[in-house]
Amino acid sequence: MNEEKALKPDWRRVKFGDVVRLSKARSQDPLADGIERYVGLEHLEPGDLRIRSWGNVADGVTFTSVFKPGQVLFGKRRAYQRKVAVADFSGVCSGDIYVLETKDAQVLLPELLPFICQTDAFFDHAVGTSAGSLSPRTNWTSLADFEFGLPQIEEQRRMAAVLQGFAAALDSLHNLEVSARTLRKSLLFDRAEAIRKNRSVTLESVVADGRPITYGIVKPGLPFQGGIPVIKVRDFPDGVVLEDDLLLTSPEIEKDYKRSRLLPGDLLFSIRGTVGRMAFVPETLEGAQITQDTARLTIGSNFDPRYVRYMLESPNAVSQVKANTMGLAVQGINLGDLRKVTIPACDLDQQVELADELDEISQGIRSVINRTNHTLRQFAAARENVLMGEGDV
């Protein structure tokens, strides 16, 4: 697939359009034709060959491109998003998705096609031939000109078997993560509702004396060398503060915000933009600051901070936050409403026990995610090596 490298013996260079066909099957009335599901670009996940979500044709759709099981769906709009999937059901899809299939299974194995469409070379070609500024799209004529190396059919079968093994492993890891998340959600809901029946308290009552719920610096200014770190909402996207690229504000600006200085273990809760993100402040950021888009909660001694965080993830608390979130372009919840959010309350020993149980499941989820990321890296390396004709099958 790299024109600058010599092909292995018994490989030949082909054009994508010589071995792959763009399906032009259409349905003007999918519902009448017995088609139940539709797929848009939003239903395809980058790097995932499985279609895990879809829409119902009965709810109304204008899509007419028909796809069938085994065909490959490729997102031609914003190709840099790397959206490729293999259909395992029939449906109709967006006009921004190409439906692809091999012309001759004895020339190009159908099972190998999705992996070819996942290679860096193919995406580089698709992105490089895309036109348009806001929503660039590639076209079939350009894709058809993509050249790559193709071995004999027996070697293709061996290659497909290797790559399908990785795909199957990733699918199993995905299912394991979904099951673990479902277990945690179910446990959290059941326990939270049972505790709530006995007692609940407002969020402002669980924080430490002298450290009320507050937000931080309104205008942290430009980066100041050697200044005070400022945590923005973007700095804790996945529940953990990312410390590598924090804004440093000047001591002159920070001195007016002593009230919002952070202590290790403080719970951060985003209140503007993406509402409801949470993270604990690490030991390394003692004395750091937050912006006006984040609230700081220093949890009092009668509550386990982990328990409070989990309770804020419970459906009832999430509903309360959503009900008080306002705004169109930029949404947010004010501190007064946040302070009134209620969470279930129980003895500290019970809090610790539940938090430990949920932590164990959460650690399992993190382990699965780490394994998934490792497998993804192995898969990408194997795919490039095998399909570029550089590795052994």
Examine the pLDDT at 1 and tell me if it is beyond 60.
Answer: no
pLDDT tens sequence across 272-327:
999 999 999 999 999 999 999 999 999 999 999 999 999 999 999 999 999 999 98
Q: Secondary structure of 294-350 in the HEC alphabet? A: EEEECECCCCCHHHHHHHHCCHHHHHHHHHCCECCCCCECCHHHHHHCEEECCCHHH
pTM (predicted TM-score): 0.82
Q: How confident is the model at residue 389 (pLDDT cuts 50, 70, 90)?
A: low
Residue type at 389 in one-letter notation = G
Name the band, by pLDDT with cuts 50, 70 and 90, for residue 201: very high
Checking if the pLDDT of 35 tops 50, the result is yes
CA distance 335 to 359: 28
CA–CA separation, 152 vs 173, rounded Å?
32
Question: Residue 289: helix, strand or coil by DSSP?
Answer: strand
Give CA–CA dist 84/117, Å, rounded. Answer: 7
- pLDDT tens-place string over residues 43-64: 999 999 999 999 999 999 999 9
Yes or no: say if 211 and 189 are a contact pair by the CB < 8 Å rule. Answer: no
Query: Looking at residue 222, what DSSP letter applies?
Result: S
Can you give the pLDDT at residue 192?
95
How does DSSP assign 352-388, residue by residue?
HHHHHHHHHHHHHHHHHHHHHHHHHHHHHHHHHHHHT
Inter-CA distances, 8 with 14, 155, 204, 342, 379, Å: 14, 12, 68, 66, 21
